[in-house]
Amino acid sequence: MLRQIEGSRAVAETVACCRPQVICAYPISPQTHIIEALSAMVKAGDLTPCEFINVESEFAAMSASIGASAAGARAYTATASQGLLYMIEAVYNASGLGLPIVMTLANRAIGAPINIWNDHSDAMAVRDSGWIQLFAETNQEAADLHILAFRLAEQLSLPVMVCMDGFILTHAVEGIDVAEQGAVDAFLPSYEPRQVLDPDEPVSIGAMVGPEAFEEVRYLAHLRQLEALDLIPALAAEFESMFGRPSAGLLSSYRIEDAETVVVAMGSVLGTIKDAVDARRDEGDRVGVLAITAFRPFPRQAVRDALAGARSIVVVEKAFSIGFGGVLSTDVAMATHDHACSLRTVVAGLGGRPITRRSLEGMLDTAVRDELDTLTFLDLDTGIVEREQLRMAETRRSGPSAEHVLHGLQSGPRPVDRPVP
Amino acid sequence: MFQIRIHGRGGQGVVTAAEVLSMAAFAQGRTAQAFPSFGSERMGAPVVSFCRIDDHPIRTREPVMEPDALIIQDATLIHQVDLFAGLRREAYVIINTSRTLDQLGLGEFSGQLDPDRLLTCPATEFALEQLGRPLPNAALIAGFAALTGEISLDAIDTAIRQRFGGPVGERNVAAATAAYRFVADARAESAHVAAD
């Protein structure tokens, strides 16, 4: 039944329907509403049997999740930003040990400078951790992807991270159809662990592996993650037949058939991009969109096929690798290396900077005229940058940059609700 | 698509106002999206929230920059925050105050807007009467409904009862009804004056 509810609420209710037996999390914006709702459900006895473990840090949250999962429990956690960084050692352990933990990542920028707003820097920081990473475009997708995530994780014995844009999705109230318990039960069988810490059948998990076998163990993990490239579309098809609505799969396209210029992106910005693409189509530009849901494993072949007709590819990313450029762009470039097409990176929405349709349309207009730079920072205020560079050149003891940039803004921090001039 | 921007201060229910508006639109069978502007949510700090209403799925995630309607919960923000950014002449504006536009220092500014769409409403007073607390949300949203005709009072009442429930819900419905009548009467009077 469609209800007008907050994205975090929908995710919490959906996770509850997945019958997690252990939830262990530490609160951090913008993940808090999800965890608050789940802890309230456990306390009220609405989610049972389930233990909600309060811990002192994210490192403990992931460590306890690892313990619970290794003991055979279905384990769930959620975090964001610095919280993810704080648990990163355990994040690698969860995947290295092959434990099917599901974690919501309410995507948020990473400091310094401290910033609570949305971008994808946190997800990119654990890109190589061995977790499957799925990006939601809408709150409906975010909620539904959790059901798919538990099934996928447990079938492959690998942890899955569902990435949803912090605030933009987590705090948005919109019409969401939260799955019914019966349907989730039919889709998601009870957890049958591949390995379990059982006193009656003792095993050791987490052995030290030296140079004689480390590469092989890592390669096996790679092969196992690649299995998701077949499994995700199969599960998405099964989901659609059971729930009566499509689930996000590896990727999806929009108005791509005859498109010369294709925008590739992940997450909630895709909605605004589709509006911008419709507007450019009305002006006669042949533009389309490729939405990536599965970032890890990266659907290289599917991306290659989807972009076969494109003359120009524009990757819009909410993160970048300082000192180089695009992150998703690099993967897309590898997937399309034998295509005769140009590839440009547009970094946008860092630290919560609004990505407006107006700016996207302007960027697309430049792209179809083949005048877009290889690396573009959308709506970058070059005046601010140049002022700070000049100031730093004047004196050795120039002080902290972030603070001076803020002081230099005449009316304080750039208001998020002001139209771009 | 009809786009609303709500300005207030942390603790006044700015985010809840957008949420309830979206629930009311949904109750009326329309598509709606509500979200806050995600500032550091301190008590008393300026806060902005947004609501979009449409009859089609809403895909965009950008903030509302050119609102069709502006709801101002706290008139003390007028000379502190750029409340009217992106506002077009035909936009609706409803300000929670028991003072006049001249008293607020908006006499000259009001000339830039359609006088039939610019309104003050003493929503906090309606809230104090019905709730005993200065929480103007329900009254202000109902005033918005009466001013714009975008949402019915019935839908507003349904959303308020869903969001708050029990006696608190009923007292908010009473505040909403009072504010709706106040704005409807003010509009009828203005139409009457215009007809004369």
Chain B environment of A4 (Cβ under 8 Å): 22-23, 26-27, 32
The neighbouring-strand residues paired with A296 are A133
CB pair distance less than 8 Å for B22 and A6: no
Reply yes or no on whether the pLDDT at A416 is more than 50.
no
Query: Which of B87, B33, B22, B89 is closest to B59 using CA atoms?
Result: B33
Sign of CA dihedral A58, A31, A43, A50: negative
- Residue bearing the bigger pLDDT, B39 or B10: B10
Reply yes or no on whether the pLDDT at B28 is more than 50.
yes
Predicted pLDDT at A421? 35
**Mean pLDDT across the stretch A81-105?**
98
Cα–Cα distance for residue pair A237/A104, rounded to 1 Å: 22
Predicted pLDDT at A415? 44
Please say whether the structural domain A2-243 has been given the CATH code 3.40.50.10420.
no
- Place A413 in a pLDDT band, splitting at 50, 70 and 90: very low
Query: Which of A52, A80, A110 is closest to A171 using CA atoms?
Result: A80
| Mean of per-residue pLDDT scores for chain A | 95
**Mean pLDDT across the stretch B5-34?**
95
- Place B42 in a pLDDT band, splitting at 50, 70 and 90: confident
Q: Is A207 helix (H, G, I), strand (E, B) or coil?
A: coil
**Consecutive H or E run containing B32:** strand B31-36
Predicted pLDDT at B40? 61
Cα–Cα distance for residue pair A140/A169, rounded to 1 Å: 10
Cα–Cα distance for residue pair A6/A8, rounded to 1 Å: 5
Cα–Cα distance for residue pair B118/B143, rounded to 1 Å: 12
Reply yes or no on whether the pLDDT at A114 is more than 90.
yes
Number of other CB atoms surrounding residue B85 within 10 Å: 15
**Bridging pattern class, strands A160-165 and A132-135:** parallel
Cα–Cα distance for residue pair A308/A300, rounded to 1 Å: 12
A81 touches chain B (CB under 8 A): no
Cα–Cα distance for residue pair A238/A38, rounded to 1 Å: 27
The CA angle B25-B27-B33, to the nearest 5 degrees, is: 40
Cα–Cα distance for residue pair A249/A387, rounded to 1 Å: 45
**Consecutive H or E run containing A328:** helix A328-335
Query: Which of A117, A145, A151, A116 is closest to A294 using CA atoms?
Result: A145
Reply yes or no on whether the pLDDT at B78 is more than 60.
yes
Is the distance from CB of A275 to CB of B59 less than 8 angstroms? yes
- Identify residue A63 by its one-letter amino acid code: S
**What ranges do the domains of chain A cover?**
2-243, 251-377
Q: Where are the beta strands (DSSP E) in A266-417?
A: 287-292, 294-296, 312-317, 342-347, 375-377
Backbone angles phi, psi at B163, to 5 degrees: -75, -40
Is the distance from CB of A31 to CB of A106 less than 8 angstroms? yes
Chain B environment of A354 (Cβ under 8 Å): 62-63
Reply yes or no on whether the pLDDT at A417 is more than 90.
no
Cα–Cα distance for residue pair A285/B4, rounded to 1 Å: 31
Distance from the B60 Cα atom to the nearest Cα atom in chain A, whole angstroms: 4
**Mean pLDDT across the stretch B13-22?**
95
Is the distance from CB of A179 to CB of A243 less than 8 angstroms? yes
| Mean of per-residue pLDDT scores for chain B | 93
Centroid of chain to Cα A278: 25
Query: Which residue from A30, A417, A420 is facing B48, i.e. has the nearest CB?
Result: A417
Cα–Cα distance for residue pair A158/A94, rounded to 1 Å: 8
Predicted pLDDT at B140? 96
Cα–Cα distance for residue pair B188/B192, rounded to 1 Å: 6
pTM summary value: 0.95
CB pair distance less than 8 Å for B34 and A174: yes
Measuring CA to CA, how many Å separate B93 from each of A318, A403, B81?
34, 36, 15
Predicted pLDDT at B189? 83
Reply yes or no on whether the pLDDT at A414 is more than 70.
no
Find residues 322-361 of chain A whose CB sits inside 8 Å of chain B. 352, 354-357
Q: Is A376 helix (H, G, I), strand (E, B) or coil?
A: strand
Predicted pLDDT at A418? 42
B82 touches chain A (CB under 8 A): yes
Please say whether the structural domain B2-195 has been given the CATH code 3.40.190.10.
no
A271 touches chain B (CB under 8 A): yes
- pLDDT cut 90: percent of chain A above it: 96
- Place B185 in a pLDDT band, splitting at 50, 70 and 90: very high
B62 touches chain A (CB under 8 A): yes
Distance from the A258 Cα atom to the nearest Cα atom in chain B, whole angstroms: 22
Reply yes or no on whether the pLDDT at A129 is more than 70.
yes
Predicted pLDDT at B196? 67
**Mean pLDDT across the stretch A359-374?**
97
- Place A410 in a pLDDT band, splitting at 50, 70 and 90: low
**Bridging pattern class, strands B2-9 and B46-54:** antiparallel
Provide the CATH number for the domain formed by A251-377 in this structure. Answer: 3.40.50.920
pLDDT tens across B87-123, in order? 999 999 999 999 999 999 998 888 899 989 999 999 9
Q: Is A369 helix (H, G, I), strand (E, B) or coil?
A: coil
pLDDT tens across A32-44, in order? 999 999 999 999 9
Chain A environment of B83 (Cβ under 8 Å): none
Predicted pLDDT at B193? 74
CB pair distance less than 8 Å for A116 and B31: no
Q: Where are the beta strands (DSSP E) in A248-326?
A: 251-254, 261-265, 287-292, 294-296, 312-317
Distance from the B36 Cα atom to the nearest Cα atom in chain A, whole angstroms: 7
How many CA atoms, within 13 angstroms, populate the side-chain half-sphere of residue A351? Answer: 12
User: Radius of gyration of chain B from Cα atoms?
Assistant: 16
Cα–Cα distance for residue pair B143/B54, rounded to 1 Å: 20
A276 touches chain B (CB under 8 A): no
Predicted pLDDT at B81? 87
**Mean pLDDT across the stretch B122-145?**
94
Count of A-B CB contacts under 8 Å: 87
Predicted pLDDT at B12? 86
Cα–Cα distance for residue pair B106/B88, rounded to 1 Å: 16
Distance from the A189 Cα atom to the nearest Cα atom in chain B, whole angstroms: 33
**Mean pLDDT across the stretch A338-363?**
97
Chain B environment of A275 (Cβ under 8 Å): 59-60
The DSSP secondary-structure symbol of A254 reads: E
Predicted pLDDT at A419? 41
pLDDT tens across A261-314, in order? 999 999 999 999 999 999 999 999 999 999 999 999 999 999 999 999 999 999
How many CA atoms, within 13 angstroms, populate the side-chain half-sphere of residue A101? Answer: 35
Reply yes or no on whether the pLDDT at A320 is more than 60.
yes
CB pair distance less than 8 Å for A274 and B19: no
Reply yes or no on whether the pLDDT at A122 is more than 50.
yes
A275 touches chain B (CB under 8 A): yes
A172 touches chain B (CB under 8 A): yes
- Place A411 in a pLDDT band, splitting at 50, 70 and 90: very low
